[in-house]
């Protein structure tokens, strides 16, 4: 059983926690790497426990997962590196010779406590030096040509293991960091669960290591960093609600019996003259060559982001739904965030479409879907999300169309708040969705130019002479579009 930190150290940890936050926040705020973050609640630990302890390796003073407190977090950080000058073996030869080659030394570095300088061996010990209370002693427990694994030691704020590894996938090098850990003591568990910034500092540390590893490999990151967190156990009181949460699943299932909170009619009544907000947004995405959408191009990437609702800004709205059900049969429980408050809003997908339209004498391939508000929502109306590709020019666009108005709300405080701030937040959410879609699409494509991705029939066409009327009131014309704007 590892030695527990002295109570005085735990209180010092609490007192110095804000120091570490302050010293790392500046670097954190200026990062530009695209992060794809997902968090899933797992009711069972099956498949999420740390790897078996290697035979013959010293386990004294180790803080294993069973020694920790609170839920188990199984995390994986992954990125792809294009045109790397080093193979996985060479990368890890350099990395294990000096861990600080991949450390963000402005706010964190590895200090060797035991072992020979210039190499790494099983049994070597390091401490990760960071501002505030994040110093963490670790021991090397596994070392291979393309990977190594560390275990946390007594006084570490976490209890568990973390593995660094590299592999080849086609013409790209894949670098991964995977960890299995719980909080090291009760106080750390409370601070980690209640102070969101503590989680962000940890995330900043390991994503910074990945950025440095990309530079060490001499290549270029493609598609940003994918971060998946599997939380084993029930969520904390202030945590996000996920499909694995029994309460969230119950609330999601309850949407099945709810009706729309407005009458669809024939659609002619959804106009500003009848009290509805009617909005249209358009965001240019990286272009393709003319012709049908190309495999792996911007149109297909955007389609994937739309299916998973990943284009929505998670700081504003998150969705709970059954991902294995057909899109056009999906109910979604949206968790909207508004000035520190959270509202659960039910919506139902009203249909999906994949078609070629003729707009202003031009053909455009359109894929999209919509959702409609259910009883209990703060609004009434419909949101349509579509990705367009103009077949003559190759131009690709992400489009949002909506009609909405306030729903009848019994709570006078909520009613007043939505009357004052609701419209502003609605427009903000759409603008953020447009910007995020553009960012994620560009990140997924890397730095590929349209000419690098050929269409199925290698079609070439003259550029269009004009956009033409889109035949829907309020739509923004295609040529000359800047960042996502709302048509008034």
Confidence of residue 452 (pLDDT cuts 50, 70, 90): very low
- Give helix 196-217 / helix 186-194 axis angle, nearest 10°: 90
Average pLDDT over residues 311-325: 84
Average pLDDT over residues 277-300: 94
Kind and range of the H or E run holding 14: helix 7-29
Q: Is beta strand 341-359 parallel, antiparallel or unpaired with respect to 331-338?
A: antiparallel
In the chain, % of residues over pLDDT 70: 74
109-113, 123-127, 234-238, 440-444: which is most confident: 123-127
pTM: 0.54
- Distance in angstroms (rounded) separating the CA atoms of residues 154 and 133: 14
The set of residues, in sequence order, having a beta carbon less than 8 Å from that of 375 and lying 6+ positions away, is 258, 259, 260, 261, 346
Residue-range domains of the chain with CATH: 7-232 (3.30.530.20), 248-486 (3.30.530.20)
Q: What is the DSSP string of 111-123?
A: EEEES-TTS--TT
- Distance in angstroms (rounded) separating the CA atoms of residues 137 and 130: 11
Check residue 150 and report its DSSP letter: E
* Span of 21-25, 56-60, 329-333 with lowest mean pLDDT: 21-25
Secondary structure E strands in 435-477: none
Q: Is the dihedral of CA 395, 351, 273, 406 positive or negative?
A: negative
Higher-confidence position of 424 and 183 = 183
Cβ 338 vs Cβ 425: under 8 Å: yes
Please return the burial class of 416, using the count of CB atoms within 10 Å of its CB with bins 0-12, 13-18 and 19+. Answer: exposed
Kind and range of the H or E run holding 69: strand 69-82
Kind and range of the H or E run holding 12: helix 7-29
Closest CA to 351 of 333, 328, 334: 328
How many residues comprise the chain?
A: 488
């Amino acid at each position: 059983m590892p030695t527990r930190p002295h109570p005085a150290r735990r209180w010092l940890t609490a007192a110095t926690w804000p120091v570490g936050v302050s010293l790392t926040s500046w670097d954190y705020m200026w990062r530009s790497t695209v992060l794809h973050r997902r968090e899933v609640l797992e009711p069972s630990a099956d498949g999420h426990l740390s790897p078996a302890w290697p035979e013959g390796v010293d386990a004294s003073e180790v803080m294993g997962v069973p020694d920790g407190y609170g839920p188990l977090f199984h995390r994986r950080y992954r990125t792809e590196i294009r045109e790397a000058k080093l193979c996985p073996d060479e990368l890890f030869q350099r990395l294990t010779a000096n861990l600080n080659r991949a450390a963000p030394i402005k706010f964190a570095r590895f200090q060797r406590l035991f072992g020979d300088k210039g190499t790494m061996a099983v049994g070597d010990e390091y401490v990760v030096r960071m501002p505030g209370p994040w110093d963490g002693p670790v021991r090397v427990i596994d070392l291979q040509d393309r990977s190594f694994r560390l275990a946390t030691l007594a006084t570490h704020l976490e209890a568990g293991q973390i593995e660094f590894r590299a592999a080849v996938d086609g013409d790209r090098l894949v670098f991964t960091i995977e960890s299995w850990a719980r909080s090291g003591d009760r106080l750390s568990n409370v601070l980690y669960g209640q102070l969101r910034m503590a989680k962000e500092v940890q995330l900043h540390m390991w994503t910074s290591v990945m950025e440095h590893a990309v530079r060490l490999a001499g290549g270029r990151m493609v598609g940003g960093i994918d971060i998946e967190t599997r939380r084993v156990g029930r969520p904390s009181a202030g945590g996000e609600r996920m499909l694995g949460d029994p309460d969230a699943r119950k609330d999601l299932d309850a949407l099945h019996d709810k009706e729309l909170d407005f009458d669809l009619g024939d659609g002619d009544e959804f106009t500003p003259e009848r009290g509805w907000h009617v909005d249209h947004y358009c965001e240019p995405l990286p272009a393709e060559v003319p012709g049908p959408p190309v495999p792996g191009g911007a149109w297909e990437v955007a389609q994937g982001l739309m299916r998973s609702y990943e284009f929505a800004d998670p700081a504003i709205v998150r969705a709970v739904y059954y991902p294995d059900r057909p899109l056009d049969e999906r109910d979604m429980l949206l968790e909207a965030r508004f000035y520190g408050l959270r509202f659960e809003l039910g919506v139902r997908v009203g249909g999906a479409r994949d078609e070629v339209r003729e707009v202003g004498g031009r053909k455009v391939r359109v894929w999209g879907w919509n959702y409609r508000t259910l009883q209990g929502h703060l609004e009434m109306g419909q949101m349509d999300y579509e990705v367009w590709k103009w077949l003559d020019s190759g131009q690709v666009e992400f489009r949002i169309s909506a009609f909405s108005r306030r729903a009848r709300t019994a709570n006078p405080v909520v009613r007043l708040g939505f009357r004052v701030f609701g419209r502003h937040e609605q427009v903000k959410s759409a603008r953020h969705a447009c910007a995020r879609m553009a960012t994620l699409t560009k990140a997924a494509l890397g730095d590929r130019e349209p000419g690098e991705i050929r269409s199925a029939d290698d079609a070439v066409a003259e550029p269009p002479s004009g956009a033409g009327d889109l035949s829907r009131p309020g739509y923004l014309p295609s040529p000359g579009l800047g960042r996502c704007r709302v048509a008034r």
